[in-house]
């Protein structure tokens, strides 16, 4: 149904705009996803969302434990509407996020500046779908993520500071891994069904009063069936 609905909605979008949406869709990936664990500074989390959108990362998983995520519109600048956001705010949100992602076939990769970790340059992104976890600004990733992580990744540092700001870390890591992934022979693009679903999400975000238009389409569709 998404395919036919998308065709119907496309008539409410200018041709140039529709071509742009189609071009960007071909550059989207779910091979890498990003998980933000209990980030309390909205500008940091929003900056990561903007970075993800710029690099074509579609899925962002937001773990709300002690802190509730809030979008900072001055930082995100509308990029959130092009992303798929998933929130976890149960009694054990980190555990639930890890379980969900592992069930989806992702390996859990935790970012940390400490310990005997794989450096960014040596990390093999082609081994399989990767969920990259970024922890809170002060304490980093939780024990739950540490205990369930398949691998740990670190950015080499040569100065006195012990860690980067989370938004800087995300930008460095994603730039490196996305570029390496695109140069590989790995199948990182969305499949047809994923493309159709995300295009519907984008058209909803693009077209004014899209809910009313979709309701009208569904009414006509049901009438045609009868």
Query: In terms of residue numbers, what domain contains 36?
Result: 29-188
pLDDT at residue 28, rounded to an integer: 98
| Residue 226 included in any domain | no
Residue 8, domain member (yes or no): no
Q: How many CA atoms lie within 13 A of 27 on its CB side?
A: 13
Mean pLDDT by 10 residues, the chain (226 residues): 87 95 97 90 84 96 81 66 92 94 97 80 96 84 92 90 86 96 97 96 93 88 64
End-to-end CA distance of the chain: 17
Q: What is the CATH number of the domain that holds 165?
A: 3.40.1280.10
Q: For residue 212, tell me if it sits in a domain.
A: no
Using DSSP, state whether 86 is helix, strand or coil.
Answer: strand
On whether the pTM is more than 0.95, the answer is no
Kindly give, in sequence order, each residue whose CB lies less than 8 Å from that of residue 205, ignoring residues fewer than 6 positions away.
81, 82
Residue-level pLDDT at 96: 95
State the pLDDT at residue 127: 95
Give domain status of residue 19, yes or no. no
- Domains of the chain: total: 1
């Amino acid at each position: 149904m998404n395919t036919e609905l998308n065709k119907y909605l496309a008539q409410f979008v200018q041709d140039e705009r529709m071509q742009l949406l189609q071009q960007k869709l071909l550059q989207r990936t779910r091979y890498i996803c990003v998980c933000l664990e209990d980030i309390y500074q909205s500008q940091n989390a929003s900056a990561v969302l903007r970075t993800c959108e710029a690099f074509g990362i579609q899925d962002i998983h937001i773990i709300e434990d002690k802190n509730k995520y809030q979008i900072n519109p001055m930082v995100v600048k509308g990029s959130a509407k092009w992303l798929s956001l998933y929130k976890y705010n149960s009694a054990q949100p980190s555990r639930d996020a890890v379980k969900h992602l592992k069930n989806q076939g992702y390996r859990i990769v935790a970012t940390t500046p400490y310990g005997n970790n794989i450096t960014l340059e040596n990390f093999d992104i082609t081994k399989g779908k990767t969920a990259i976890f970024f922890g809170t600004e002060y304490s980093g990733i939780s024990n739950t993520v540490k205990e369930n992580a398949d691998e740990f990744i670190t950015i080499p540092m040569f100065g006195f500071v012990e860690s980067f700001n989370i938004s800087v870390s995300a930008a460095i890591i994603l730039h490196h891994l996305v570029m390496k992934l695109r140069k590989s022979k790995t199948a990182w693009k969305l499949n047809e069904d994923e493309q159709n679903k995300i295009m519907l999400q984008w058209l909803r975000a693009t077209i004014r009063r899209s809910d009313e238009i979709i309701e009208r389409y569904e009414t006509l569709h049901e009438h045609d069936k009868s």
